[in-house]
Amino acid sequence: MIPAQFDYLAPTSVEDALAALAEHGDDAKIIAGGQSLLPVLRMRLNAPEMIIDLGRIDSLRGVRDDGDAIVIGAMTPHAVVGSDPLVAEHAAVISKAVEHLADAQIRHRGTFGGALAHADPAGDLGAPALALGAEFVIQGSGGTRRVAADDFFVDLFETAIGEDEILTEVRIPKHTGWGAHYEKFVRVAHQWPIVAVAATVRVDGGAIAEARIGLTNMGSTPLRARGVEEALVGQPVTEDAVRAAAARATEGTNPPSDLNGDADYRRHLATVITRRAVLAAAGG
């Protein structure tokens, strides 16, 4: 319950944070909202020598409109993202995912960028970010680079963020007018999803014109269900049509087996939940 000793810095600018990272290298760990890091430290599963807190960098907070994208600051708390009108209008599937992410207290403290950088494949934000084709803005001493969602998630708890870099913001291409739904399958409410599906679709004339589907906890990273997306295009919003497309949700997945379900059960769930999420997103 008591973390091992560490030193602590709370820089007030990204530049200072990067300088601290450069100085302490491997020994340092960044804390964003800390809602996943602190349990790890309390149980002494990790014992960094230096904690660099991004909580005092005001520029990393907030949601803004940037033309064809909205930009969510990495340190924006979930609760703020969840109630932000820009997010609701242009990236509704994120609002839906945040609504039931963890619990109220954790949504107050946990941050959008922190959760994504943590890269737990069972985390609720990876699948929506993938589905919307988010771009991750990563700053290092050499400058800023943008990484596409498809390249961001590397493995279990591993992302494209380098050891000397910081995720500063996430750019979400606007999906204005798209229907959205995040369907989460859990045994108890405070659990990470056993499987969840982020679906956002554009319906035109009773048929699905475009679809973006992300899967949570179906592999070592969040996954994009491209097979389903392709199969949905042009389909009517009917149970049967969507069922056929959703059957492809298992393609390329490698779900875990654990207390809550074996891999084959999760694959089955993925097809059912994908269907339900798409139908809900399409208003069907």
User: Which residues lie near other proteins (CB under 8 A)?
Assistant: 1-8, 10, 29-32, 34-46, 51, 53, 55, 79, 100, 102-106, 108-109, 114-115, 117-118, 120, 122, 156-157, 185, 187-192, 256-262, 265, 268-269, 272-273
Compare residues 123 and 178 and give the one whose CB is closer to other proteins: 123
Strand positions, DSSP E, 36-116: 50-53, 63-66, 69-73
Compare residues 148 and 156 and give the one whose CB is closer to other proteins: 156
Compare residues 109 and 248 and give the one whose CB is closer to other proteins: 109
Sheet holding 135-140, edge to edge: 63-66, 69-73, 166-173, 135-140, 143-148
Rounded least distance, CB 167 to other proteins, Å: 9
Compare residues 2 and 143 and give the one whose CB is closer to other proteins: 2
Rounded least distance, CB 263 to other proteins, Å: 9
Sheet holding 223-224, edge to edge: 179-185, 195-204, 207-216, 223-224
Compare residues 96 and 109 and give the one whose CB is closer to other proteins: 109
**In terms of Cα–Cα distance, which of 174, 183, 204, 230 is closest to 282?**
204
Say how far apart CA 273 and CA 198 lie, in whole Å: 9
**In terms of Cα–Cα distance, which of 58, 5, 78, 284 is closest to 168?**
58
Rounded least distance, CB 175 to other proteins, Å: 26
Compare residues 8 and 67 and give the one whose CB is closer to other proteins: 8
Rounded least distance, CB 5 to other proteins, Å: 6
Contact in structure between 173 and 200 (CB atoms under 8 Å): no
Compare residues 6 and 209 and give the one whose CB is closer to other proteins: 6
Rounded least distance, CB 137 to other proteins, Å: 16
Rounded least distance, CB 6 to other proteins, Å: 6
SS3 260: coil
Rounded least distance, CB 188 to other proteins, Å: 5
Rounded least distance, CB 281 to other proteins, Å: 18
Q: How far is CA 2 from CA 5, 39, 248, in A?
A: 9, 10, 46
205 CB-near residues (< 8 Å, 6+ apart): none
189, two tokens: 């409410």
185, two tokens: 């399958």
Q: How far is CA 57 from the centre of its chain?
A: 22
Compare residues 3 and 173 and give the one whose CB is closer to other proteins: 3
Residues in the chain: 284
